[in-house]
Structure 1
Amino acid sequence: MSAQETPDRDSTISVISGLFGGFLGIAVALSLALVIVPSGQFLSLSNYLQILAAFSGAVVFSYYSLRHGGGPGLLWAAGAFALWGIANVAWYAAVFFGVGTFTFPSLIDMGFIASILLLSSAYNRIYPRKQVKGPLLLALLFLMLVVPLAILVTGGITDQGLTILLYFFACGSLIITGLNHSLSDHPAALAGTLLFAISFMAYPIRETFFAGNPYLTILGPFVAAGFSLIVLGLIPYGAGTTQGVPEQPADPPREP
């Protein structure tokens, strides 16, 4: 890497940090607005912000992977963000062209679930493996599956119940993969991942049981905030790598 490349890279990171910091601030403001005064206008702004953050994140990840040798993991992250954005835009396009609205569950949900699994695969390629204690992972797996399994047992096997199970499985995979690959060493990415995963565990529950609740529209800004934090957490790491390998040696493993 040339001496001139570092200032340019640092400047680019500053611009991107400012942009996604702005997205995060708007998401926080929209969350408060939707709680205080639930409004269709605020909800629309939330949806637009999610799409903008998703596609912007996809562009940024692609740029750093191709321009700065961030490794294939960032391309997987770009694919996850882009797929999520495409699925959301498809919903709006169907409404705009008179095809109708998609009711839960639908193919749109399959796009969201696939994007979550792609992001999980990205973490597997971006961060080095870091062994997490087995009991913690088992406890997380139990928490991820107990709710959808309880819904299936009490309500029978339905499309809604199976889709809820898929959402919880994908979100559980995302969290467990992240924790097992050093995500805890990157607080912004960890916070964004948890916010994103929690939103998509709550989303199918809302669509199935609480579709008319105006306060649960707060999940939209949570998704936008999650996207923003993930980008803010991933970019400094990805931009400081060459073909996905950190330039600085990793810290030695800590004693238990």
Structure 2
Amino acid sequence: MRIAVTGGTGTIGRHVVAELSARGHEVRTLSRHAEHYPVDVTTGTGLAAALDGIEVVVDASNASTPVARARATLVGGTQRLLAAERDAGVRHHVVVSIVGCHDVPMAYYRVKVEQEEAVAAGGVPWTVVAATQFHEFVAGTLAGAASRGVVPLLRAAVQPVAAAEAAAAVADAATREPQDGTTSVTGPEVLDLRDAARAWRAATGSRALPLRVPLPGALGRALRTGALVDPHPDARGTTTFRDWLAVQRTLRASAR
């Protein structure tokens, strides 16, 4: 099967490319800086050539801040991508989204909902793969905060998944018939984000100060009551956050 992956060099996109390639599919990596198929979904540059002969498109592109840039990439870019897919005769569009984006009152999550709506209205048979937070995202967020001297302790329920395991679910969706609906993938366990932060701090040896950070209002209620959790996912990874941290620690040690 000939499959194109937009955002194919990103956190999950590179794993999707690797997974599909390992399964024997012909995969084109599409991104602004891709060697063979450079594209820019915000302008449409390169899309026609990149999608020539493609059967399935996996959209793993991302832009989170500022919100205007996120909307330009995830909504406007999706609309341009779908228009190019219609012209190219693509038969299935798969987009990576987020578990809970419909229920969490955050600007970026609202943009993801708009992206899903654009896909549903785009005229190409489609599947949304909603994933919980990636281990990589949780660790990266904590590392960013720690670089400023603190490790935030936020009361929130999360169910993180390894990006590689989420990518396997995306690859499954891409090689099946379009659902015109949503499938979900999560990690193996629900964690309090405070416990995840403490585990990260212990695994990395960070000396940043643990700091309790309250989350008031509707956002806090949504995160505390499990908006980012799916108790009955269609696919579930097996690598816990602590196990993933242990692997990263081993990789860091072997690289020294």
Question: What TM-score does the superposition give when structure 2 sets the normalisation length?
Answer: 0.30
More relative contact order in 1 or in 2 (CA 8 Å, sep 6+)? 1
Question: What TM-score does the superposition give when structure 1 sets the normalisation length?
Answer: 0.30
Between Structure 1 and Structure 2, the one with more helix by share is 1
Between Structure 1 and Structure 2, the one with more strand by share is 2
